[in-house]
Chain A
Amino acid sequence: MPVIYFLIYLLTMIGIYSLLAMSLNFQVGFTGLINFGQVAFFCIGAYASSLLVTKAGAPLILGFVGGMALSGLFGYIISIPTKSLKADYWAIATLAGGEVVRLLALNEGWLTEGPFGVMSIPQPLRWLFSKDSYPLFYLFLIAACVLIIYFVLSLLTNSPFGRNLKAIRDEEDLCLSLGKNTRKLKLQAMVVAGMVAGLAGALFAHYITYISPENFKPIETFLMWAMIIVGGRGNHLGAILGAVVIQLFNVSTRFIGGYVPLGSDTMAALRMVIIGLLIVLFLLYAPEGLIRERKKVYHLKRKHIE
């Protein structure tokens, strides 16, 4: 039943991109940090985890943890310039940062195998399952990760920490005047977001078992942005919904190739054109996306609401 396998693949990819979109949304939608190099986290998570396992011989779990940690560390490093760069200039710096990471993966062959990529990346608990049932197990693994991350991020954004982040997004000077160390808060936000996207990278690498710098081009960042623009920012469900919509479109249009008289190159280019158009339409007519940010309402004691 190839259809089922395709469906499992589709859902798995949606799960991975949900994590990436939630991470980007945490930065853009909650903290107001415009990151155009989101793919770098994905890349670092994937490479760190697979290299730790294939080259250093670490156990898989350590690979995942290492991928998250290194990606979080990259979040720390890339957030340092926020203290001296204005938001828009920092955004440009992140775009460059993302490319630097990919080019390092491409050129530091002694570590990353360069353009050949890392091959035969082992899969977690592979020996427990048959070839046919493993993809389903992996889908469950990813679904569990998405649920846990959704839960953790919701706790964070509903906490005083999350309130500070939203206040930085809306009025940074006000936060300073209220004694908030905005630098530290942005740094913490970037580390959290980096860890989430790093986890997505590790899950991706151990799923497809082969990664190369080709997987981590700037276009990936573009897709993640499309997800949070379509789905809505400042809302974790919106990020997930955006990942569903964009991935459904992106993957499913590969299969109508047989029915349209266009070459596959043209189709690939056309796909991006349509996603671009989608972004423009959303920004013009539904700038808040499919799910808008939810208003925080506090539960009050009766005394206050006579």
Chain B
Amino acid sequence: MLTLTIRDLQKNFGSLRALDRVSLEVQGNSIVGLIGPNGSGKTTLFNVVSGFYEKDGGEIYFKGERIDGLRPDQIVKKGLSRTFQVCKAPEKLTVLENMMLAAKSQIGEDPFSALFRRPRVSMLEKANLDRAMDLLEVLQLVDLRNEYAGDLSGGQKKLLSLGRAFMLDPDLILLDEPTAGVNLTLATQLLKVIRELQKKEGKTFFIIEHSMKVISDICDKVLVLNFGKIMAEGTPEEIRKDEQVLKAYLSGA
């Protein structure tokens, strides 16, 4: 079973405990939400799990294998990928190039193959191009395919980062605020896509989100992080009613 298991994970920034013995589990083929006030450690958790930050303690298992200590690209090759809260958009790569970039295991990524196995490389490129265009259609980015990613608006960059994640096609996707800054109609559409990917292809999503509506709409389980600790865990319904959570997080909203 595809599961992300985190045990006693710690991360300090100087004297600040960003993650204070966090333990959690993300079951395969589910959508798990992660909420919590600003500065509670949500993005830090993602950064540690995806290998961008080094942990200060604890263990992370993915599909039964230990992944803490691996480089980000090695973790991706195990089937776990993430998006960024502030979207990364390569300035001089077009939208379509971004999608093509994300496709995994391309033999043309090796300079030797790029020169001497050209027919095979271009065949793979064509197949990827088809898939990229299909995904862009879903994300309503087809007309922008030849624009530089650096020239897109914030919301469009968000869509593109989802597109790249779908193109990469990992088993578990960590999404950092996937719908922030995206208009409501499209956001609803995106959530539908995420739902479908989970149902039809058995993908797993771990989502940081501030909108309780989004969380209630699609999450099977919600984790609440506060001051670097998991303070509650349950279905969206349970979380909504949790006194502690209400006090720490939801009451202000």
Give me the interface of A with B, judged by CB distance under 8 Å.
152, 155-156, 159-164, 166-167, 169-171, 173-182, 185, 188, 192, 234, 293, 295-298, 300-301, 304
Contacts and interface: CB of A to CB of B under 8 A. Distances in A.
Interface stretch (B16-24, B107-115, B221-229): B107-115
B101 A178 contact: yes
A171 B108 contact: no
A188 B92 contact: no
A170 B91 contact: yes
Interface of B: 50-52, 71-73, 76-77, 81-84, 88-94, 96-97, 100-102, 104, 106, 108-111, 114-115, 118, 121, 125, 129-130, 133, 142, 146, 148, 150, 164, 168
What 10 pairs across the A-B complex have the smallest Cβ distances?
A179-B76, A170-B90, A159-B114, A160-B108, A174-B88, A176-B72, A171-B88, A161-B114, A160-B106, A304-B133
B22 to A, nearest CB: 21
B168 A179 contact: yes
A177 B50 contact: yes
Contacts of A173: 52, 72, 84, 88
Contacts of A179: 73, 76-77, 81, 104, 168
A159 B100 CA distance: 11
Contacts of B72: 173, 176-177
B90 A174 contact: yes
A166 B73 contact: no
B108 A159 contact: yes
Contacts, number: 114
A175 B125 CA distance: 18
Most buried by A among B52, B94, B102: B102
B106 to A, nearest CB: 4
Contacts of A185: 109
A178 B168 contact: yes
Contacts of B96: 298
Nearest to B100: A163
Contacts of A160: 100, 106, 108-109, 114, 121, 125
Contact of A161 (B52, B88, B111): B111
Contacts of A295: 94, 146, 148
B109 A164 contact: yes
B118 to A, nearest CB: 8
A177 B104 CA distance: 11
Contact of B115 (A156, A163, A296, A300): A156
5 contacts: A161-B110, A163-B93, A171-B89, A176-B71, A298-B129
A300 B134 CA distance: 12
Most buried by B among A161, A181, A192: A161
A167 B99 CA distance: 12
A159 B83 contact: no
A176 B52 contact: yes
Contacts of A166: 90, 92-93, 97
A186 to B, nearest CB: 12
Nearest to A299: B129
Given A170-B92, A171-B88, A177-B83, A161 B109 contact: yes
A155 B129 contact: no
Nearest to A294: B92
A234 B92 contact: yes
B125 A296 contact: no
Contacts of B129: 298, 300
A16 to B, nearest CB: 23
